[in-house]
C-alpha cells in the first residue's frame, strides 16, 4: 500500500536512534518490539526514549504484550509527567527470501491506536556500505556493520479520526528527522 506523506515531523534523539538499531540487531532475525516515550506538539513528535519490551513474545509475524504488563508500565509512567507513551516501534526482518520493508502489515494497522505513532525498522543484510540519508518518502536509511536499515514512522492525522475510526487509507508517513545520523 502506498502511504501518504504527512506534514508531521518525528524527531529522533541519539538515544532513540541507538535504541532502535540495537534492539533490532539484538533479536535479528526475529522482530523487536518496544515503547516510544516523549511528547507531542501539533506539528511534531519528539521521541526521547525507545524502550524494548522484554516480556513481549517474539515471533516472525506476530507479537504480543500481555495487558497486565502494559498497565504496570502505564502506572509507572504516571510519575513522569513530562513523558508520555506516544507510540510503539517494531522491526521487520527478511521472511524466507522476501526482503523486509517498512510497510505496515494489516495486523500492525489493526493494533495501532488512533493517536499513536508507529515506527518500523526494516532490517536486511547488505554487504555494501551506504551512508545514512533522508529519503523522499520521509524515511531514513543506511548501513551499519553489514545491515541495511530503513526507518519509517506512521500516524493517523487527527482531523480524520475524531470518531475513533481508523481508516488505513488515511495513514500518513511522518518525516523522520534524526540529526545524529542525517545532518
Ligand atoms: Zn509490522
Global pTM reads 0.90
Domains and CATH numbers, the chain: 4-177 (3.40.140.10)
Per-residue pLDDT tens over the stretch 5-58: 889 999 999 999 999 999 999 999 888 989 999 999 989 999 999 999 877 665
Instruction: Determine the pLDDT at residue 159.
Output: 63
Quick one: pLDDT band at residue 135, thresholds 50, 70, 90? very high
Name which of 166, 134, 132 is nearest 152 in CA terms. 134
Contact between 146 and 126 (Cβ < 8 Å): yes
C-alpha cell at 159: 482531523
- What three-state secondary structure class fits 20? helix
Instruction: Determine the pLDDT at residue 145.
Output: 94
- DSSP one-letter string for 44-78: EEEEEEEEE-SSSEE-SS-EE--HHHHHHHHHHHT
Cα(85)–Cα(17) distance, integer angstroms: 17
- pLDDT higher than 70, residue 62: no
Instruction: Determine the pLDDT at residue 51.
Output: 93
Higher-scoring residue by pLDDT: 59, 18: 18
Ligand 1 center from residue 144 Cα (angstroms): 21
- pLDDT higher than 60, residue 151: yes
Ligand 1 center from residue 105 Cα (angstroms): 5
- pLDDT higher than 50, residue 61: no
- What three-state secondary structure class fits 116? coil
Question: CA-based angle 87:88:93, to the nearest 5?
Answer: 150
Name which of 91, 16, 77, 5 is nearest 46 in CA terms. 16
Task: Give the bridge partners for 150, in sequence order.
Answer: 122, 141
Mean pLDDT of 132-152: 97
Instruction: Determine the pLDDT at residue 66.
Output: 65
Higher-scoring residue by pLDDT: 143, 65: 143
Ligand 1 center from residue 79 Cα (angstroms): 30
Cα(119)–Cα(91) distance, integer angstroms: 8
- pLDDT higher than 50, residue 169: yes
Per-residue pLDDT tens over the stretch 85-134: 999 999 999 888 899 999 998 888 887 888 899 999 999 998 899 999 99
Cα(103)–Cα(93) distance, integer angstroms: 12
End-to-end Cα spacing for the chain: 29
Ligand 1 center from residue 142 Cα (angstroms): 20
Name which of 66, 113, 58, 45 is nearest 91 in CA terms. 58
Torsion sign over Cα 10, 131, 52, 57:
positive
Ligand 1 center from residue 121 Cα (angstroms): 9
Amino acid at each position: 500500500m502506498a502511504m501518504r506523506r504527512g506534514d508531521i515531523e518525528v524527531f529522533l534523539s541519539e538515544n532513540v536512534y541507538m535504541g532502535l538499531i540495537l534492539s533490532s540487531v539484538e533479536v535479528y532475525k526475529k522482530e523487536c518490539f518496544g515503547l516510544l516515550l516523549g511528547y507531542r506538539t501539533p506539528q511534531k513528535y519528539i521521541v526521547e526514549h525507545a524502550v524494548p519490551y522484554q516480556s513481549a513474545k517474539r515471533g516472525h509475524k506476530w507479537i504480543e504484550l500481555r495487558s497486565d504488563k502494559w498497565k504496570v508500565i502505564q502506572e509507572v509512567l504516571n510519575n513522569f509527567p513530562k513523558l508520555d507513551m506516544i507510540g510503539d516501534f517494531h522491526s521487520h526482518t527478511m521472511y524466507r527470501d522476501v526482503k523486509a520493508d517498512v510497510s505496515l502489515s494489516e495486523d500492525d494497522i489493526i493494533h495501532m491506536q488512533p493517536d499513536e505513532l508507529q515506527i518500523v525498522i526494516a532490517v536486511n543484510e547488505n554487504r555494501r556500505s551506504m551512508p545514512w540519508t533522508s529519503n523522499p518518502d520521509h524515511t531514513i536509511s543506511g548501513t551499519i556493520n553489514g545491515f541495511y536499515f530503513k526507518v519509517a514512522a506512521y500516524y493517523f492525522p487527527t482531523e480524520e479520526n475524531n470518531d475513533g475510526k481508523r481508516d488505513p487509507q488515511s495513514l500518513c508517513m511522518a518525516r523522520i528527522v534524526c540529526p545524529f545520523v542525517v545532518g
